Amino acid sequence: MRRLIKILGINVLIFLLLSSCSINQYTTTQYSPDQIAKAIITAQDSISELQRLLPIDEYYLEYLTDIYNIEADAVKDGAIYYFSGMKADEIAVFLIDDTSKVKSVKDALVTYKERRTEAFMGYAPEQAAILENSVVIAHGNYVALLICEDPQKAESVFLACFSDNPPEIKEDTVPTVPDISDNSENDPIDTPDVTDIEPEPPDEPELPEETIDDVYDPDSIIQAWHSGDMSGLSSKNRSILEACIDIINTNIHEDMTDYEKELTIHDWIIEWTGYDDEAKNNAPDAKPDPDNDNPYGTIFSKKSICYGYTSTFQLFMDLLGIECISVYGIAEHSGNEHAWNMVRIDGEWYCVDVTWNDPSGEDQSYSKKHKYLNVTSEFMRETGHNWDESTTPTADSGKLFFE
């Protein structure tokens, strides 16, 4: 019996020693962070073309410290693959200099993931869902950010890089953009397929010369509309009014009700413009349209952020004599500033969020793009809109929308 116990004890000791060796073995890898990232990316069934940043790249350090909020001296080596636009896909792998710093790096990446998720809420729900399901994982002195459609597979590949059977690295299959500064002038420009309204586009005027004083001025535009005298308008504001006149003359008819006019303009804006992807672009050469917050950007560049959607809708309602106000609040998901409208139809107030009715990257049914059209204040609260309600009327008449 004693001999049996002794043998068992020796076997247990051997097992523990082997386990210890195995643990040590599996916290190291023969692969560099870049090779691990490549293995993860090539294992994905679907992933966007990504920009690559390595420590030798000029923008790497800025991305590490300013975008991820990671201290530079905490990272010994790393690789960042990110999408420079309105898509969530992003893979980053870092070798941490000291084990004591692993947690702080992981926490920084978790915070970034949460912040990025919130930024996409409302504007690109499909991408926000990818971010919500994404993974930040630490193993040994390595930390990885895995934002992709299949984060479980990405995590499995990451861990496999520390095993006896690491995944094969296929260098030539990683979908990356060759050069971050390579912007081809010959790429075709996608134009929205206008199906329901089919508005005639306004003539493309010469872009006015930029001056300090040539800013969007809705009051002067409305005054010129009523007086018929455009002589006092700046070049930019004259261009906006002339375009609005063409759009109204093409799409609005005298026998329309205020609701029909509102719906037509709402749908025209959604079909004509799109959210300015560059506004959420992490690339160093990101170029948000300078007028994406006003009707000039909406009409002529077809690029808007929430202020652009809101101010364009507001201007058209003012020109058509439909009572409307702009509401400036906060998107609860992100804590970021957000804007929408309230419109008065047949004596009743309704809320309208044109921006969130036009989420980026989604195929929309006719009814889906009217989710935030003519809804109640309560509905807006329930869907993450926060604002000072003491400064606005209350919309409590139910939803006004007819398919």
E strands within 205-298? 274-275
CA distance 111 to 127: 17
| pLDDT for 134 | 94
Q: Which residue has the tokens 């692969």?
A: 31
| pLDDT for 403 | 65
DSSP 192-222: ----SS-PPPPP-PPPPPP-TT----HHHHH
Q: Residue 90 CB: number of other CB atoms within 10 A?
A: 25
Question: What are the pLDDT digits (tens) for 251-307?
Answer: 999 999 999 999 999 999 999 999 888 887 787 778 889 999 999 999 999 999 999
CA distance 281 to 336: 16
Residues in a beta bridge with 142: 95, 139
Stretches in the chain below the pLDDT threshold 70: 1-26, 170-213, 334, 361-368, 403
Q: What is the mean pLDDT of the chain?
A: 83
Written as six digits, the tokens of 271 are 């079909």
CA distance 266 to 354: 7
Question: What are the pLDDT digits (tens) for 227-260?
Answer: 999 999 999 999 999 999 999 999 999 999 999 9
CA distance 147 to 136: 8
* Structural domains of the chain sorted by starting position, each given as residue range(s) with its CATH number in brackets: 29-173 (no CATH), 218-391 (3.10.620)
| pLDDT for 402 | 76
